[in-house]
Structure 1
Amino acid sequence: MTAPSSKPESVERRTIDHVPVDERHGRARDLFTVWFGSNIMLLTIITGALSTTVFGLPWWAGAVAVVLGNVIGAVVMALHAAQGPQMGVPQMLQTRAQFGSYGSLLVVVLVVFMYLGFFASNAVLGGQALSHVTGIPTNWSIVIIGLISVAATIVGYRLIHRVTAVLSVVAGGALVVAFVWIVGVNGVPAGTWHTDGFTWAGFMATLSVAALWQIAYAPYVSDYTRYMPKDTGQRAAFWGTYSGCVLGSVLPMLLGVLVGAALPNDETLDGLSTLTHGVTTGVFAIFAIGITATNAMNLYCGTLSTITIGQNIVPRWNPQAGSRAAVAIVLFVLTLIPALISADDFLANYANFLALLLCVLIPWTAVNLVDYYLLRHGHYDIDALFERDGGIYGRFNWVAIGCYFAGILVQIPFLSTTLFTGFAAEAIGKVDISWIVGLAVICPLYYVLMRPRVSAATVNRAAPSVA
Structure 2
Amino acid sequence: MSSPETATRREGVIEQHSIDYVPASERHGKVWHQGPFWFTGNFVLPTMVTGFVGPAMGLSLGFSVLAVVLGVGFGTFFMAFHANQGPRMGLPQMIQSRAQFGSRGAVVPFAATVFVYVGFLVFDTILAAQGIGLVLPEAKLFWYPVLIAASIIIAVVGHDLLHFVQRWLTYLLIVVFAIITVVAIVHFSSTPLAVDAPAATAGWDTTAFLVQISLAAGYNISYSVYVSDYTRYLPANAPAKKLIGSVYAGATCSAVWLMSLGAILASYLPDPDPILAVRQVGDLVFPGFGTIAVIVSVLALISIMGVNAYGAMLTGTSAVDGFRKVRPTVRLRVVGLTAVGLGSLLVALLIPDNYIDSFTTFVLLMLYFLVPWTSVNLVDFYFVRRGRYAIGEILKPNGIYGRWAWRGVLAYLIGFLSMVPFFSTSFYVGPVAELLGGADFSFVVGLFVSGILYLVFSRNLDHGADAHVEGEAELEGSNR
Q: TM-score normalized by structure 1?
A: 0.93
What is the distance in 1 between the residues matched to 2:357 and 2:126?
A: 13
Q: CA RMSD in A?
A: 2.0
Q: Deviations over 1:329-381 (max 9, x none)?
A: 12111111111222511011111111111111111111101111000000000
Tell me the amino acid that sits aligned with residue 375 of structure 1: V
Tell me the amino acid that sits aligned with residue 211 of structure 1: A
What is the distance in 2 between the residues matched to 1:185 and 1:312?
A: 55
Q: CA deviation at 1:30?
A: 0.5
Conserved 8 A contact 2:215-2:364: yes
1:280 is aligned, of 290, 293, 296, to 290
Q: Could you say which residue in structure 2 is the equivalent of 1:252?
A: 258
Moved more, 32-41 or 18-27: 32-41
* Structure 1: gaps of 5 or more residues: 463-467
Tell me the amino acid that sits aligned with residue 223 of structure 2: Y
Q: Could you say which residue in structure 1 is the equivalent of 2:321?
A: 311
Residue 159 of structure 1 pairs with residue 151 of structure 2: no
Conserved 8 A contact 1:59-1:195: no
Residue 386 of structure 1 pairs with residue 389 of structure 2: no
What is the distance in 2 between the residues matched to 1:5 and 1:97?
A: 35
Residue 261 of structure 1 pairs with residue 267 of structure 2: yes
1:209 is aligned, of 199, 210, 215, to 215
Q: Could you say which residue in structure 1 is the equivalent of 2:378?
A: 369
Residue 81 of structure 1 pairs with residue 83 of structure 2: yes
Tell me the amino acid that sits aligned with residue 36 of structure 1: F
2:117 is aligned, of 110, 115, 126, to 115
Residue 291 of structure 1 pairs with residue 293 of structure 2: no
Q: Which runs of 4+ in 1 moved over 6 A?
A: 458-462
Q: Which secondary structure does the structure 1 equivalent of 2:169 belong to?
A: helix
**Alignment: residue pair count:** 459
Tell me the amino acid that sits aligned with residue 400 of structure 2: I
Conserved 8 A contact 1:4-1:22: no
Q: Deviations over 1:18-65 (max 9, x none)?
A: 000111011110000111122222111111122222x33211111111
1:30 is aligned, of 33, 47, 58, to 33
Structure 2 CA distance for partners of 1:34 and 1:359, relative to 1, 3 Å: same
Identity score, percent: 31
Conserved 8 A contact 1:59-1:194: no
Tell me the amino acid that sits aligned with residue 396 of structure 1: W
Tell me the amino acid that sits aligned with residue 254 of structure 2: G
Structure 2 CA distance for partners of 1:47 and 1:255, relative to 1, 3 Å: same
* Structure 2: gaps of 5 or more residues: 471-480
What is the distance in 1 between the residues matched to 2:192 and 2:460?
A: 61
Conserved 8 A contact 1:49-1:253: yes
Q: Which secondary structure does the structure 2 equivalent of 1:243 belong to?
A: helix
Tell me the amino acid that sits aligned with residue 37 of structure 1: T
What aligned pairs does 1:66-465 form with structure 2 within 5 A after superposition?
66-184=68-186, 188-190=191-193, 196-277=202-283, 278=287, 279-315=289-325, 317-342=326-351, 344-389=353-398, 391-454=399-462
What is the distance in 2 between the residues matched to 1:459 and 1:448?
A: 21
Q: CA deviation at 1:194?
A: 5.1
Q: Deviations over 1:225-274 (max 9, x none)?
A: 00001111221221111101111211111111111011132333333333
Q: Which secondary structure does the structure 2 equivalent of 1:453 belong to?
A: coil
Structure 2 CA distance for partners of 1:26 and 1:266, relative to 1, 3 Å: closer
Q: Could you say which residue in structure 2 is the equivalent of 1:465?
A: none
